[in-house]
A and B are shown apart, each in its own frame.
Chain A
Amino acid sequence: MGFFHRHRGLTPYLLLAPGLLWLGTFFLVPLGFLGYQSLQSGSIDFGYAFTWSWGNYWHAIRDYHGHFIRSFEYAAIATLIALVVSYPVAYWIAFHGGRWKNLLLLGIVAPFFVTYLIRTLAWETILADHGLVVNTLRHLHLLGVLGTNGRILNTATAVVAGITYNFLPFMALPLYVSLEQIDARLIEAAEDLYASRVQAFLRVTFPLSLPGVVAGTLITFIPAAGDFINAQLLGSPQNHMIGNVIQSKFLELTDYPAAAAMSIVLMASIVIMVLIYARAVGTEKLTG
């Protein structure tokens, strides 16, 4: 232990080293390899060679821009629905949860102890042609509203519904955290100063909860945009997202350079969108 006393400045680095080395080797370095792979050409049979083939990127965008756009569209819609659906619940738990708060939060997280794939398969059962939702809509004579020949499974609706459900706690928990931190006296002060409850909400509560809104939308949108499980299990090939293409190019078609280029385009588009979003809402809200 004398060593630590003589070199106290070293202690933090010794503590960091193993974990950061792991992240460096198995997270950062692989991203470099992904870039390296994306500029290769060749085939699995004859081997791949690094040839600066920027064409892979051009092909990824030319052939699959529809999948990219669809992925961001589905992810954005699901994120928006998740925000609208879970905000009131986060609000209710934060301000009216009392001593049940932790139990209610557990209720939000609990469904996610069921394996992701099994949860999604359960939605397949629920949304199936003679399943719960379709039959209920039929009884209410609302089936025509869907405009999809009375089907939900294998439509965009099912995919977005699946994504929304599967990423809901990513939205609800940050919302709760930011709402919970709001000093209730601020809202009371607004009401004492003759703000209506709606005004108090719009002018005080909601602005103060923005860090949670920003955090929630980001950590919902990012994984949602890269998802392929919902599109695979709940959608038809017309609903496939970029994740489906990347997955099949890597693992079924073994077209590694093309798949790597698409992964990088996906990541880069997400980074650009996050930066634009951060600009739009103000960075100080991001760091909250």
Chain B
Amino acid sequence: MSAVAVRAGRPRRSVLATVWAFVKRYALAVYSLLFFAYLMLPIAIVIVFSFNNPTGRFNYVWQGFTLDNWRYWDGVPGIRSALVLSLEVALIASVIATALGTMIALALVRYRFHGRGTTNILIFLPLSTPEIVLGASLLTLFLNLSFVTFGFYTILVAHVMFCISFAVITVKARLVGFDRHLEEAAMDLGANEWATFRKVTLPLIAPAIIASLLLCFAISIDDFVVTYFNAGTEVTFPLFVWGAARVGAPAQVNVIGTAIFMVALVLMLANVLIQWRREEAAA
């Protein structure tokens, strides 16, 4: 409403300026649509080629439509176990990282203490380190500790490490925005710190915790570089794709890629819709 009022109150622009503004406005919109088309182009290729019926091992040229790749999604040796490992790691890593990250976020937003600055830097540093350095340094640590065998646990440890910072940022953003008085009221009414946390704080930051779980899960299941350095002989789904790419990736890779994409998209769409509902309810 206010925007309209402001615009009506302004002196009339000349016809030429109006036309120019009109063109400019739609040029930007058209450009943006082209940009989204560009973003979606490789995704469309991935999805389309999941229905390809390749004659040889190579899935580069369109040969014909088939549903077989979807029906026999685990028809390639090793692909099922790779996907299962990726899902396990992503599930456990996102839970651990979100728990640790939520605690750090609570400490940073709720308390004044010595070492806040250092903590913030330590959270920020892994985000601004190239993945290859993260992977390589963790590899040298494990190489120098003779009791470590590379495998599930080294992958898990690495994934939790690079997820923590994302968890902290996600939960912190929500904590900063909410009303402390609710917690103070609970305390005034005789609730102790733990009860206040469980009954007041936790429900309020639940959306951020869910967002953090989803984000960590997505980052973990997509990670290649750090995993590649620390997996030993274990194969996660991205490592499987890497190995398959050298000889020509089978169409089943596209099937799983499409499936992960669809699940993530539906979850994120649901999130956007819930926010819309909430905004409408609030308005």
In the assembly, what is the distance between CA of A104 and CA of B29, in Å?
12
Q: Is the CB of A115 within 8 A of B31?
A: no
Q: Is the CB of A92 within 8 A of B104?
A: no
Contact with B along A102-115 (1 / 0, CB 8 A): 11101111111111
- Choose among A16, A108, A267 the residue that contacts B130 (Cβ–Cβ < 8 A): A267
Supposing A15-B106, A197-B24, A229-B224 touch, asked if A256 and B269 sit within 8 A by C-beta, the answer is: no
Expressed in whole angstroms, the minimum distance between the Cβ of B68 and any Cβ of chain A is: 19
Main secondary structure of the interface of B (DSSP, over half): helix
- Choose among B3, B122, B268 the residue that contacts A106 (Cβ–Cβ < 8 A): B268
B10 at the interface (CB under 8 A from A): yes
Supposing A29-B141, A222-B128, A223-B131 touch, asked if A229 and B241 sit within 8 A by C-beta, the answer is: no
**Number of A residues contacting the other chain (C-beta, 8 Å)?**
87
A37 at the interface (CB under 8 A from B): yes
B28 at the interface (CB under 8 A from A): yes
In the assembly, what is the distance between CA of A22 and CA of B156, in Å?
12
Q: Is the CB of A20 within 8 A of B119?
A: yes
Query: Which residues from chain B contact A86 at a C-beta distance below 8 Å?
Result: 35
Supposing A1-B193, A12-B110, A226-B130 touch, asked if A111 and B43 sit within 8 A by C-beta, the answer is: yes
Q: Is the CB of B100 within 8 A of A115?
A: no
In the assembly, what is the distance between CA of A108 and CA of B194, in Å?
40
Which residue, A88, A125, A233, A266, has most C-beta atoms of chain B within 10 A? A125
Supposing A115-B241, A118-B257 touch, asked if A250 and B229 sit within 8 A by C-beta, the answer is: yes
Which residue, A19, A85, A247, has most C-beta atoms of chain B within 10 A? A19
Supposing A102-B272, A246-B136 touch, asked if A226 and B131 sit within 8 A by C-beta, the answer is: yes
Contact with B along A87-123 (1 / 0, CB 8 A): 0110111001001001110111111111111110111
A242-278 CB contacts (< 8 Å) to partner B:
243, 246-247, 250-251, 256, 259-260, 263, 266-267, 270, 274
Q: Is the CB of A96 within 8 A of B25?
A: yes
Q: Is the CB of A12 within 8 A of B107?
A: yes
Q: Is the CB of A121 within 8 A of B35?
A: no
B18 at the interface (CB under 8 A from A): no
Expressed in whole angstroms, the minimum distance between the Cβ of B26 and any Cβ of chain A is: 10
Main secondary structure of the interface of A (DSSP, over half): helix
Supposing A111-B43, A116-B222, A125-B45 touch, asked if A34 and B140 sit within 8 A by C-beta, the answer is: yes
In the assembly, what is the distance between CA of A122 and CA of B272, in Å?
28
B113 at the interface (CB under 8 A from A): yes
Q: Across the interface, name the chain A residue whose C-beta is closest to B31.
A: A88
Query: Which residues from chain A contact B141 at a C-beta distance below 8 Å?
Result: 26, 29-30, 33
Chain B interface size, as a band, is 35 or more
In the assembly, what is the distance between CA of A166 and CA of B182, in Å?
42
B209 at the interface (CB under 8 A from A): no
Q: Is the CB of A1 within 8 A of B192?
A: yes
A147 at the interface (CB under 8 A from B): no
In the assembly, what is the distance between CA of A37 and CA of B140, in Å?
7
Q: Is the CB of B39 within 8 A of A168?
A: yes
- Choose among B110, B128, B143, B238 the residue that contacts A218 (Cβ–Cβ < 8 A): B128
Instruction: Report A's interface with B, CB cutoff 8 A.
Output: 1, 4-5, 9, 11-13, 15-16, 18-20, 22-24, 26-31, 33-34, 36-37, 85-86, 88-89, 91-93, 96, 99, 102-104, 106-119, 121-126, 128, 165, 168, 184, 188, 192, 197, 218-219, 222-223, 225-229, 233, 243, 246-247, 250-251, 256, 259-260, 263, 266-267, 270, 274
Top 4 closest A-B pairs, CB basis?
A: A226-B130, A19-B100, A113-B264, A122-B42
In addition to A125-B45, A267-B130, 10 A-B residue pairs with Cβ atoms within 8 Å of each other are: A27-B134, A30-B140, A108-B39, A110-B265, A114-B46, A121-B245, A226-B132, A243-B132, A266-B130, A267-B133
Please name 16 pairs of A and B residues whose Cβ atoms are closer than 8 Å in the assembled complex, sorted by A.
A4-B194, A13-B113, A34-B133, A92-B29, A106-B268, A112-B222, A113-B268, A115-B241, A121-B253, A165-B39, A192-B10, A219-B127, A223-B131, A229-B225, A246-B136, A266-B133
